[in-house]
Copies of this chain bind each other. A is one copy, B any other.
Amino acid sequence: MTYCPVHEAIQILQEKWTLHIIRSLLDGPKGFNELSRAVGGCNSATLTHRLEQLEARQLLTKTVISYMPPRSSYALSEAGVALGGVVDAIAQWGLQYLHPDAEGRFHVGG
């Protein structure tokens, strides 16, 4: 198979929690707990693994603030910040096409 940058970009962004993490960090660096609350529903082990992967992919950087107690801060890299355009497009679509049902859950067509 031939590799394609667009196919690969989708491969990266379809990994669970990635877009939630990027969205959350777009308004500034966050510590692990704050990020965990913002992402919502992702357990700590999974979030840790995904953050390591995004760091290895150069989409974010991790800064250790203290070792005891362990505290770190996560910030988007330049390439990560540039994903703001993707998050904006998703937000625009969601606001236009997803409507709440009687329970407040959003669906296409409402």
The answer on a CB contact under 8 Å between A108 and B58 is yes
Q: In the assembly, what is the distance between CA of A82 and CA of B107, in Å? A: 15
Q: In the assembly, what is the distance between CA of A85 and CA of B95, in Å? A: 13
The answer on a CB contact under 8 Å between A93 and B9 is yes
**Which residues of A come within 8 Å of B, CB atoms?**
1-10, 13-20, 23, 40, 57-59, 77, 79, 82-83, 85-86, 88-100, 104-109
**Most B-side CB within 10 Å, residue of A18, A23, A97:** A97
Q: What is the CB-to-nearest-CB distance from A34 to chain B, in angstroms, rounded to a whole number?
A: 16
Contacts of A18 in B (CB 8 A): 14
Supplied contacts A3-B104, A6-B91, A14-B15, 15 more A-B pairs, CB within 8 Å? A3-B106, A4-B106, A5-B99, A6-B23, A8-B94, A8-B98, A9-B90, A10-B23, A10-B94, A57-B108, A58-B108, A79-B108, A82-B93, A82-B97, A86-B86
